[in-house]
Amino acid sequence: MAVADENLNTLVDFRHQRVFRAQRGQNGMGRQMSGRGGEDCVIRVPVGTEVVGTETAESLGDLTAHGQRLRVAAGGEGGRGNVHFKSSVNRAPRRATPGHEGDARELRLELKLLADVGLLGFPNAGKSTFIRAVSAATPRVADYPFTTLHPHLGVVRIESDKSFVVADIPGLIEGAAEGAGLGIQFLKHLSRTHLLLHVVDMAPQDDSDPVQQVRAIEAELEQFDARLLQRPRWLLLNKLDLVPHEQRAQRAARIVADLGWTAPWFAISAAVREDTWDACLAVQRFFDAERKAREEAAAAAVDLRFAAHGDEAGA
């Protein structure tokens, strides 16, 4: 039995213990006693864990809420006691069945973060700086690549009852899909997000070109999972503060035009928190609209059902 536990954040405990055994069922006994069923073995996993059967590679389920339980293998059944074999002929049977071993099953646990928004970008683009600017999360920020080695989550609280979760993941570089840099292993954390924020350094100190950098990340995404490219993705043109005032609008407009970018984009400075909040408000509006559309679709489905029943009644 796997149980989601919000107090756990990682699967590291499973490095040490890899085999879990539920109890074997007890044998059946005399005196009208059946053997007890084997006790379930409870495995605590972080919220967001997906359990996959290794043999079939089939997902057995997602544990997405604290306390949610998933039966991944059955414990041993108890044996039946002699009373089950009693008949009019044999009133004191000496028979009972043995208890059984439980299922043995090889499983793979995969932890996927439950974030609404995923940050994406080259190392040093300013992803961690952004999440620090807009949430209470405090991932390390430094001027060398691969400062972030593990994903971090930050909650962006817009109003008391409106918030969304952003995942900061390690930077990607060209060739990540083939394992360069920290590789692309972290992209799986983006699989459940609804919106990607692609952070780009719009004022690179070397001669790299922001447009090229966006294209490079897109190519990695496509290689990893083309569906990620279909996901809504907005641009955060970061480090605006490094661009002289009079060039800002023009520089941003040129990048957007060169990319042929049609989705929303924002020129921001994560370091001095310029326009970072505007971007977050837009993200919240995106989720509000998404929720409204979902609710309307659900309401329309109900209407249709009523209409269908109405027709039946009329016929």
Contact residues: Mg ion, CB under 5 A: 127-128, 147-148
Distance of alpha carbon 74 from alpha carbon 213, whole angstroms: 50
Q: How far apart are CA 191 and CA 183, in angstroms?
A: 16
99 binds, among Mg ion, ligand GTP, none (CB under 5 to 8 A by kind): none
Residue 123 in contact with ligand GTP, rule: CB under 6 A? yes
Site string for ligand GTP, 153-182 (x = CB under 6 A): -----------------xx-----------
3-state helix, strand, coil in the chain (%, to 5): 30, 20, 50
Measured from the CB of residue 301, what is the shortest distance to ligand GTP in angstroms?
42
Give strand pairing partners of 153: 167
Contact between 217 and ligand GTP by CB under 6 A: the answer reads: no
Q: CA–CA separation, 153 vs 8, rounded Å?
A: 14
| Residue 203 CA from chain centroid, whole number | 32
Q: Which of Mg ion, ligand GTP, none is residue 252 near (CB under 5 to 8 Å by kind)?
A: none
Considering beta carbons, is residue 16 or 245 the nearer one to ligand GTP? 245
Residue at 195: amino acid letter: L
Strands 162-168 and 152-159: antiparallel
How many residues sit close enough to ligand GTP to count as binding (CB under 6 A)?
24
Site for ligand GTP in 246-275 (CB under 6 A): 269-271
CA distances from 83 to 77, 89, 97 (A): 17, 13, 11
- CB atoms near residue 233 (< 10 Å): 21
3-state secondary structure of 162: strand
Q: How far is CA 132 from CA 135, 156, 243, in A?
A: 6, 10, 22
Radius of gyration of the chain from its Cα atoms, rounded to whole angstroms: 27
Per CB under 6 A, contacts with ligand GTP among 125-144 are: 125-129, 141-143
- Residue 61 interacting with ligand GTP (CB under 6 A): no
- Rounded to a whole number of angstroms, the minimum distance from the CB of residue 229 to ligand GTP is 20
Please report how close the Cβ of residue 292 comes to ligand GTP at its closest, in angstroms: 32
142/282 with CB nearer ligand GTP = 142
238 interface partner picked from ligand GTP, Mg ion, none, CB below 5 to 8 A per type: ligand GTP
Question: 3-state class of 161 per DSSP?
Answer: coil
Q: How far is the CB of 289 from ligand GTP (least distance, A)?
A: 28
Part of the chain binding ligand GTP (CB under 6 A), chosen from 59-67, 104-112, 122-130, 304-312: 122-130
Q: Which residues bind ligand GTP (CB under 6 A)?
A: 121, 123-129, 141-143, 145-148, 170-171, 238-239, 241-242, 269-271
